[in-house]
């Protein structure tokens, strides 16, 4: 099955109105002038989501949130719900990012509830999984990916169009280090096989992204790896030239 490549930019906690809007305007301008061969998703901070979505509306760039609560509304001070993201123009949401798993203590079960909430609101979920350096050194990478998929993926709502899985080795995020191409290929092949046991009807259509120090100079080789259906980009998504360099490296489909 052909899967259209996705390049998603995670701006994390970066961007005030002036620079955030300048960034999306430039990416949107390029995307409208020369529609890319891949899907583009920009995930700005929640404070910028409505404005960024407004700039991108009607064009080839979609927008997403960086997290959502597992409840649709309620007494949860400081939280943002999936319906709120939809109301602000989002089509996607990143869930289970390692910075929330390890920095904020989010469990697989909590992330699973968030994925379910995203699906219920009509959002696509970009579910992040990945091993720490200690797990990698212990030879536990593939078992860790299996356990995270087992516990984080809600079987009852997953389809090939509303779920993307992003493999992000924790030790590679923001460090400038990346696994070898063979290691990336092994991880993605394992995820594809494991998804076939968890969600057989959707497994072949679910896109698998790689994330972790993806840059214009390594994007083409990473995106050429079997079962790599795109990239979740952190730091390089904050500069239009860098992000567009990754977009330009994307094949039409896998």
Q: What is the 3-state secondary structure (H, E, C) of 101-122?
A: HCCCCCCHHHHHHHHHHHHHHC
Q: How many residues does the chain have?
A: 254
Annotated catalytic residue 119? no
**Given the DSSP bridges, would you call strands 207-211 and 230-233 parallel, antiparallel or unpaired?**
parallel
Annotated catalytic residue 97? yes
DSSP 74: S
What the block records as the tokens of 113 is 């509830």
Kindly report the number of other CB atoms within 10 A of residue 80's CB atom: 18
Find the catalytic residue in 97, 119, 188, 190. Answer: 97
| Phi and psi torsions of 9, nearest 5° | -105, 125
Kindly report the number of other CB atoms within 10 A of residue 104's CB atom: 10
| Phi and psi torsions of 90, nearest 5° | -75, 150
Kindly report the number of other CB atoms within 10 A of residue 217's CB atom: 12
Find the catalytic residue in 99, 106, 135, 168. Answer: 168
Any idea which residues carry the catalytic annotation?
A: 97, 168
């Amino acid at each position: 099955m052909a899967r259209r490549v996705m390049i998603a930019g995670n701006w994390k906690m970066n961007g005030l109105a002036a620079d955030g809007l300048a960034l999306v305007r430039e990416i949107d301008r390029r995307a409208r002038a020369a529609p890319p061969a891949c899907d583009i998703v920009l995930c700005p901070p929640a404070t910028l989501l409505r404005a960024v979505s407004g700039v991108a509306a009607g064009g080839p760039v979609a927008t997403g949130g960086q997290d959502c609560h597992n409840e649709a509304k309620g007494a949860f001070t400081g939280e943002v719900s999936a319906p709120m993201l939809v109301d602000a123009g989002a089509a996607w949401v990143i869930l289970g990012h390692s910075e929330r798993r390890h920095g904020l203590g989010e469990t697989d079960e909590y992330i699973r509830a968030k994925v379910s909430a995203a699906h219920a609101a009509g959002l696509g979920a970009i579910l992040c999984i990945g091993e720490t350096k200690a797990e990698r050194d212990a030879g536990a990478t593939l078992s860790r990916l299996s356990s995270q998929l087992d516990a984080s993926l809600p079987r009852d709502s997953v389809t090939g169009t509303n779920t993307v899985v992003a493999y992000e080795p924790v030790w590679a995020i923001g460090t400038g280090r990346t696994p070898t191409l063979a290691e990336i290929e092994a991880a993605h092949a394992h995820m594809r096989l494991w998804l076939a046991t968890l969600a057989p009807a959707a497994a072949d259509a679910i896109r698998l992204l790689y994330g972790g120090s993806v840059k214009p100079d390594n994007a083409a080789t990473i995106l050429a790896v079997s079962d790599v259906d795109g990239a979740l980009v952190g730091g390089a998504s904050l500069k239009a030239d860098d992000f567009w360099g990754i977009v330009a490296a994307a094949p039409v489909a896998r």
